[in-house]
């Protein structure tokens, strides 16, 4: 029998007592969802969802896939999608100017210690202000996962003048692999055709980083 959520620290009450930063990811999601379904309370539902879709993957899901998750449906999927979009828009309005490619590193803390590779693109305008940060791929980096079309579509939509690529190495070794180099050359070639400058491709770990630009690999 599912445990009674009334007998534990309910997420909303915990938020009021200790602040939003004290809540776990599943507790934050539980507040957004509001209710579970017969046989499973909202906190159990949230834990199950994030077990199948880690937070960094879950927030990238399109609404069509959100609707397909048992216990969500159209209404809850719409609420989640709207909440994620609102946060993204808020972040996009905090314009940050980049003087050198490594200035983006403070905005990559969320992927530094991930157990899977995350490929992130920063799109910049002609004044080197960040227009958008986007997850392009999650998983082992290769040409089949990271396609120029997916990388540069947002660049065209936002009229970006340049881009900076960042991805993490879960191993902790930030040395560019052969696949990293091949992929970067392919993306640089596509960028040249579009008239977009690739400022750098930075590989990060929990404690280190490596610039492919500084290694003359771009």
User: What pLDDT, in 10s, does the model give residues 114-126?
Assistant: 888 899 999 999 8
Alpha carbon distance 133, 160 (integer Å): 12
Question: No. of H helices and E strands in the chain?
Answer: 8, 5
Residue with tokens 């934050």: 28
Residue 216: inside a domain, yes or no? no
For residue 89, pLDDT beyond 90? no
Query: Is the CB of residue 202 less than 8 Å from the CB of residue 101?
Result: yes
Pick from 93, 113, 148: which residue ends a domain?
A: 93
The two beta strands, 197-204 and 118-124, are unpaired
Alpha carbon distance 79, 100 (integer Å): 38
Which tens digits make up the pLDDT trace of 41-81? 999 999 999 888 887 778 878 888 898 889 888 999 899 98
At residue 169 the predicted structure's pLDDT band, cuts being 50, 70 and 90, is: very high
Residues 133 and 180 in one domain: yes
How long a stretch of residues is the chain? 218
Name the average pLDDT for the chain. Answer: 85
Q: How many domains does the chain divide into?
A: 2
Query: Is the CB of residue 92 less than 8 Å from the CB of residue 127?
Result: no
pLDDT value, residue 56: 73
- Quick count: other Cβ atoms within 10 Å of Cβ 5? 15
pLDDT value, residue 7: 41
Pick from 76, 93, 110: which residue ends a domain?
A: 93
In this prediction the pTM is: 0.57
Residue 206: inside a domain, yes or no? yes
Residue 218: inside a domain, yes or no? no
For residue 85, pLDDT beyond 90? no
Pick from 61, 93, 125: which residue ends a domain?
A: 93
pLDDT value, residue 152: 93
Residues 36 and 105 in one domain: no
Q: What is the full DSSP assignment across 179-201? A: HHHHHHHHHHHHHHHHT-EEEEE
Residue 75: inside a domain, yes or no? yes
Alpha carbon distance 209, 203 (integer Å): 5
Domain that holds residue 141: 101-211
Q: What percent of the chain has a predicted confidence (pLDDT) above 90?
A: 32
């Amino acid at each position: 029998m599912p445990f009674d959520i009334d007998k534990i620290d309910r997420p909303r009450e915990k938020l009021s007592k200790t602040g939003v930063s004290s809540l776990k990811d599943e507790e934050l999601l539980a507040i957004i969802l509001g209710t579970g379904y017969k046989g499973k309370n909202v906190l159990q539902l949230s834990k199950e969802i994030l077990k199948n879709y880690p937070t960094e993957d879950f927030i990238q899901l399109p609404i069509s896939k959100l609707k397909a998750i048992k216990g969500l449906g159209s209404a809850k999927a719409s609420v989640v999608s709207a909440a994620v979009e609102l946060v993204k828009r808020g972040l996009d309005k905090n314009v940050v100017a980049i003087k050198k490619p490594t200035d983006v590193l403070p905005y990559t803390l969320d992927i530094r210690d991930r157990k899977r590779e995350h490929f992130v693109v920063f799109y910049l305008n002609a004044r080197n202000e960040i227009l958008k940060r986007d997850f392009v791929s999650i998983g082992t980096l290769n040409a089949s996962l990271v396609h120029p079309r997916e990388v540069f579509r947002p660049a065209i939509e936002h009229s970006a003048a340049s881009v900076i690529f960042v991805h993490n190495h879960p191993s902790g070794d930030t040395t560019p692999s052969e696949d990293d180099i091949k992929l970067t050359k392919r993306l640089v070639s596509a960028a040249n055709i579009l008239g977009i400058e690739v400022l750098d491709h930075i590989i990060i770990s929990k404690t280190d980083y490596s610039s492919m630009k500084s290694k003359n690999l771009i």
